[in-house]
């Protein structure tokens, strides 16, 4: 994103969606305040930005937020509440909600709505009186949304608000006095289908609507239900999400059995086995998504402004006196670096630019005015993750035509992605790829990539290091690979921001380091420990795409230790790899099993049978 372009981005997205200013900001801020945001006269707070982007159908999950510690603590409190509910610690969740309600910074309609909806969610899990839950939900919905009659005329709601409407409908069906009719659910589903949302945001709400529709639709709608259920299942598989996945696997299996076709009955059994692997993994770590309708998937990148300024200043060797010159008083900078004072956004930007690190409150991984380019970046990441190289090359070509390639940040991003594809397709050897990556890293940072540094790395700099480590590992230079991964893990341990708020980058480091530890001269106990930690964080973030890989790493370690537990981990890992379309790794594991000697191989006859029928 170009500097000072947040208001312009909102303006363009709003016009593309066909919303008036009043409709977009209804219930969350005044029209006059929103107009100032579009004119770049005022920055939205982070929670307001989350909601505005959500109403525009655009995910904020790939944006980088640089926030004051006080604001981060509110996001952290929300995560604590969510985790307490996941672990079934409902008394603790209610106590945390009481503390949240007392926060001075947590005032306003968005925060009141959150408190009310979470109280309703806890009451629902406790199986309290549906009418009491409905009162809480009506209050929560009323905080940011217009009356039902007004919504019939025109609507503009985020995935989070849409889930509230669906949750109210579901709860009402348990009420003896306030039950809502099926036509309302159909209308909500139609609105969700018509909204111009990206796939990431769509995955938060569409599967929930489909599950409710599938449960309550008349029998003659079975073809429609099946079509919707299959679409929702593929959406969750592509986006790597956990919420609603077991229920959708169950629904799709049920519909396949009803067809009476023998092959589809076998496919239903396969879905049952995938569901079993998923539920066993969740239960093994004491987490349950059952009845947790309002769970919020956590894929964020948060930084603390005080940490970023202090660490960058130390890395470039600049004194407080020098950095503060012509920007602010040295005493002010000292308070900023200790978190006692929040820097103005303009001052933050000036400081970071003076240190050669362009950065604002909200950042993208590239310099662009088009949010669609960020969506293409998400698509590219998915194809590279799944090793679909032809698709990746096509998307990278589209991205390149949309970017200003005079920007060093854009050059770095595009060329690093090209190196990844070239290495995967073996059109360039490891040594040449390492040299290309080293040069790309130094385009934006004054440090050698294989040396310790104090810089807070950008997403792309972090990714370049990960690419280098992977190539080193593939080319029998394990020590260099392990050094880089440990350096990355160390960086996350030296910030007050939790791993869950850097889940993608943190997960890559942990998983790859664990993989290194299963190799020659590795530490098998550390491999198991790292993988277990990754699984816990992934589940708490609602992410399933990497679970299979972590389970396989644990299984590999147990197999080397000659511990029979490896069979359990391999089996569950295999089905989760296939569920989340990690086909390249899946085939590697199947090949490993096929090379096993008897009787070890006999323990996987069921997996090999499925592979022969459907899993290929």
Give the strands of the sheet with 64-67, arranged side by side.
301-304, 64-67, 362-363
Phi-psi category of residue 426: left, alpha or beta, with phi > 0 → left and psi -120 to 50 → alpha: left
Residue 449 has a pLDDT of 87
**459-464 CB contacts, 8 Å cutoff, 24+ apart:** 459/64, 459/301, 459/365, 459/505, 460/365, 460/366, 460/409, 460/412, 460/413, 460/416, 462/488, 462/505, 463/416, 463/505, 464/412, 464/416, 464/437, 464/440
Give yes or no for a contact between 473 and 516, defined as CB atoms under 8 angstroms apart.
Answer: yes
Q: CA 108 to CA 113: how far, in whole Å?
A: 9
Residue 149 has a pLDDT of 80
Residue 18 has a pLDDT of 92
Q: Per the domain annotation, does 530 fall within a domain?
A: yes
Report CA Rg, the chain. Answer: 25
The model's confidence at residue 267, banded by pLDDT at 50, 70 and 90, is: very high
Q: Which two tokens stand for residue 28?
A: 């969350």
Q: Is the peptide bond before 564 cis (omega within 30 degrees of 0)?
A: no
Of 270, 295, 320, the last residue of a domain is: 295
Q: 556: which residues sit within 8 A by CB, 6+ positions away?
A: 518, 527, 566
Q: 503: which residues sit within 8 A by CB, 6+ positions away?
A: 298, 299, 300, 537, 538, 541, 543
Q: CA 307 to CA 539: how far, in whole Å?
A: 28
Average predicted confidence (pLDDT) for the chain: 92
Q: Is the pLDDT of residue 393 over 60?
A: yes
Pick the closest to residue 432 from 446, 451, 418 (CA basis): 418
Backbone angles phi and psi of 386, in degrees to 5: -90, 0
SS3 annotation, 112-128: HHHHHHHHHHHHHHCCC
Q: Per the domain annotation, does 58 fall within a domain?
A: no
User: Do 289 and 436 fall into the same domain?
Assistant: no
User: Do 577 and 438 fall into the same domain?
Assistant: yes
The model's confidence at residue 3, banded by pLDDT at 50, 70 and 90, is: very low
Q: What is the pLDDT of residues 403-435, one digit of tens each?
A: 989 888 899 999 999 999 999 989 999 999 999
Residue 4 has a pLDDT of 46
The neighbour count for residue 340, using CB atoms within 10 Å, is: 11
Q: Per the domain annotation, does 249 fall within a domain?
A: yes
The model's confidence at residue 386, banded by pLDDT at 50, 70 and 90, is: confident
Q: Which two tokens stand for residue 427?
A: 């059109």
Q: What is the pLDDT of residues 480-514, one digit of tens each?
A: 999 999 999 988 888 999 999 999 889 989 999 99
Q: What is the pLDDT of residues 143-191, one digit of tens each?
A: 999 888 887 777 789 999 999 999 999 999 999 888 899 999 999 999 9
Q: Per the domain annotation, does 72 fall within a domain?
A: no
Q: Is the pLDDT of residue 590 over 60?
A: yes
Q: Is the peptide bond before 599 cis (omega within 30 degrees of 0)?
A: yes
Q: How close are the terminal C-alpha atoms of the chain, in Å?
A: 41
Give yes or no for a contact between 460 and 484, defined as CB atoms under 8 angstroms apart.
Answer: no
Give yes or no for a contact between 368 and 402, defined as CB atoms under 8 angstroms apart.
Answer: yes
CA 447 to chain centre: 30
Residues in the chain: 616
Q: Which two tokens stand for residue 101?
A: 């309600």
Helix (H, G, I), strand (E, B) or coil at 600: helix
Give yes or no for a contact between 147 and 14, defined as CB atoms under 8 angstroms apart.
Answer: no
Q: Is the pLDDT of residue 129 over 90?
A: yes
User: Do 289 and 413 fall into the same domain?
Assistant: no
DSSP code string of 142-161: HHHS--HHHHHH-----HHH
CA 442, 447, 452, 455 dihedral sign is negative
Beta bridge partners of 362: 65
Q: CA 439 to CA 442: how far, in whole Å?
A: 5
The model's confidence at residue 614, banded by pLDDT at 50, 70 and 90, is: low
Q: Is the pLDDT of residue 1 over 60?
A: no
Q: Which domain holds residue 608?
A: 384-615
User: Do 484 and 607 fall into the same domain?
Assistant: yes
Q: CA 48 to CA 110: how far, in whole Å?
A: 8
Pick the closest to residue 97 from 113, 477, 108 (CA basis): 113
Mean pLDDT value of segment 346-356: 93
Q: What percent of the chain has pLDDT over 90?
A: 74
Q: Per the domain annotation, does 517 fall within a domain?
A: yes
Query: Beta strand pairing status for 362-363 and 301-304?
Result: unpaired
Q: What is the pLDDT of residues 186-233, one digit of tens each?
A: 999 999 998 888 888 899 999 999 999 999 999 999 999 999 999 999
Q: CA 532 to CA 527: how far, in whole Å?
A: 9
Q: CA 95 to CA 99: how far, in whole Å?
A: 6
Q: What is the pLDDT of residues 75-91, one digit of tens each?
A: 999 999 999 999 999 99
Provide the whole-model pTM.
Answer: 0.93
Backbone angles phi and psi of 260, in degrees to 5: 80, 0
Q: Per the domain annotation, does 8 fall within a domain?
A: no
Q: Which two tokens stand for residue 52?
A: 């505005």
Q: 417: which residues sit within 8 A by CB, 6+ positions away?
A: 380, 384, 392, 396
Residue 369 has a pLDDT of 72
Q: What percent of the chain has pLDDT over 70?
A: 99
Q: Per the domain annotation, does 168 fall within a domain?
A: no
User: Do 455 and 555 fall into the same domain?
Assistant: yes
Mean pLDDT value of segment 585-594: 93
Give yes or no for a contact between 302 and 67, defined as CB atoms under 8 angstroms apart.
Answer: yes
Lowest mean pLDDT among 378-387, 464-473, 593-602: 378-387
Counting the structural domains of the chain, the total is: 2
Domain harbouring 488, CATH code = 1.25.40.10
Q: Which two tokens stand for residue 194?
A: 């018509």
Give yes or no for a contact between 470 and 437, defined as CB atoms under 8 angstroms apart.
Answer: no
Of 259, 276, 295, the last residue of a domain is: 295
Lowest mean pLDDT among 6-10, 130-134, 522-526: 6-10
- On the CB side of 517, CA atoms within 13 Å amount to 24
Q: CA 254 to CA 534: how far, in whole Å?
A: 32
Report helix angle 159-172 to 199-216, nearest 10: 10
The model's confidence at residue 615, banded by pLDDT at 50, 70 and 90, is: low
Residue 84 has a pLDDT of 97
Q: 489: which residues sit within 8 A by CB, 6+ positions away?
A: 506, 509, 510, 513
The model's confidence at residue 33, banded by pLDDT at 50, 70 and 90, is: very high
Mean pLDDT value of segment 279-289: 94
Q: Is the pLDDT of residue 66 over 80?
A: yes
Q: Which two tokens stand for residue 604?
A: 């996987």
CA 356, 360, 365, 368 dihedral sign is negative
Beta bridge partners of 303: 66
Q: Can you list the positions of beta strands (E) in 269-363?
A: 301-304, 362-363
Q: CA 535 to CA 538: how far, in whole Å?
A: 5
Q: Per the domain annotation, does 107 fall within a domain?
A: no
DSSP code string of 14-56: HHHHT--HHHHHTTTS-HHHHHHHHTTSSPPPHHHHHHHHHHT
SS3 annotation, 59-84: CCCCCEEEECHHHHHHHHHHHHHHHH
Of 260, 277, 295, the last residue of a domain is: 295
User: Do 391 and 265 fall into the same domain?
Assistant: no
């Amino acid at each position: 994103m170009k500097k000072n372009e947040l208001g312009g981005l909102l303006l363009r997205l709003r016009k593309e969606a066909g919303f008036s200013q009043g409709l977009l900001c209804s219930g969350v801020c005044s029209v006059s305040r929103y107009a100032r945001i579009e004119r770049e006269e005022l920055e939205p707070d982070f929670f307001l930005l989350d909601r505005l982007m959500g109403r525009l159908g655009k995910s904020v999950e790939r944006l980088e937020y640089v926030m004051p510690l006080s604001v981060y603590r509110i996001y952290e409190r929300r995560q604590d509440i969510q985790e307490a509910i996941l672990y079934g610690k409902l008394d603790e969740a209610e106590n945390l909600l009481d503390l949240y309600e007392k926060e001075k910074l947590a005032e306003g309609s968005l925060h009141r709505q959150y408190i009310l909806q979470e109280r309703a969610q806890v009451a629902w899990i406790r199986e309290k009186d549906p009418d009491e839950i409905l009162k809480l939900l009506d209050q929560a919905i009323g905080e940011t949304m217009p009356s039902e009659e007004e919504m019939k005329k025109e609507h503009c709601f985020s995935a989070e608000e849409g889930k509230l409407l669906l949750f109210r409908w579901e709860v009402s069906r348990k009420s003896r006095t306030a039950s809502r009719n099926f036509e309302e659910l159909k209308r909500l589903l139609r609105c969700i289908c018509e909204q111009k949302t990206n796939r990431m945001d769509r995955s938060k709400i569409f599967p929930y609507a489909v599950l409710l529709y599938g449960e309550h639709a008349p029998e003659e709608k079975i073809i429609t239900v099946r079509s919707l259920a299959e679409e929702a299942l593929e959406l969750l598989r592509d986006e790597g999400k956990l919420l609603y996945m077991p229920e959708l696997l169950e629904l799709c299996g049920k519909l396949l059995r009803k067809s009476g076709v023998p092959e589809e009955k076998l496919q239903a059994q396969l879905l049952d086995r995938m569901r079993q692997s998923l539920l066993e993994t969740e239960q093994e770590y004491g987490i349950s998504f059952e009845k947790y309708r309002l769970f919020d998937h956590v894929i964020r990148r948060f930084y603390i402004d005080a940490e970023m300024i202090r660490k960058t200043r130390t890395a470039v060797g600049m004194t407080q006196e020098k950095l503060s010159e012509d920007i602010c008083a040295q005493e002010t900078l000292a308070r900023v670096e200790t978190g006692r004072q929040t820097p103005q956004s303009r001052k933050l930007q000036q400081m970071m630019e003076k240190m050669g690190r362009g950065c604002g409150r909200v950042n993208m991984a590239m310099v662009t005015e088009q949010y669609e380019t960020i969506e293409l970046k998400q698509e590219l990441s998915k194809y590279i993750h799944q090793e679909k190289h032809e698709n990746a090359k096509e998307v990278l070509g589209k991205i390149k035509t949309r970017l200003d390639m005079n920007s060093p940040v854009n050059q770095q991003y595009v060329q690093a992605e090209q190196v990844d594809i070239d290495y995967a397709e073996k059109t360039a050897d490891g040594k040449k790829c390492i040299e290309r990556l080293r040069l790309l890293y130094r385009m934006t940072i004054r440090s050698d990539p294989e040396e310790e540094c104090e810089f807070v790395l950008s997403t792309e700099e972090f990714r370049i290091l990960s690419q280098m480590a992977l190539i080193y590992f593939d080319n029998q230079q394990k020590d260099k690979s392990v050094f880089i991964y440990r350096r990355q893990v160390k960086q996350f341990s030296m910030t007050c921001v939790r791993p869950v708020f850097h889940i993608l980058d943190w997960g890559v480091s942990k998983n790859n380091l664990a993989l290194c530890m299963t190799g020659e001269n590795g530490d098998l106990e550390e491999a198991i420990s790292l993988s277990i930690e990754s699984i816990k964080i992934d589940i708490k973030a609602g992410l399933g795409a990497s679970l299979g890989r972590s389970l396989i790493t644990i299984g590999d370690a147990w197999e080397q230790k000659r511990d029979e537990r490896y069979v359990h981990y391999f089996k569950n890992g295999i089905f989760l790899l296939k569920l989340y379309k990690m086909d390249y790794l899946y085939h590697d594991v199947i090949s490993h099993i096929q090379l096993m000697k008897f009787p070890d191989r006999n323990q996987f006859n069921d997996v090999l049978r499925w592979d022969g029928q459907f899993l290929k």
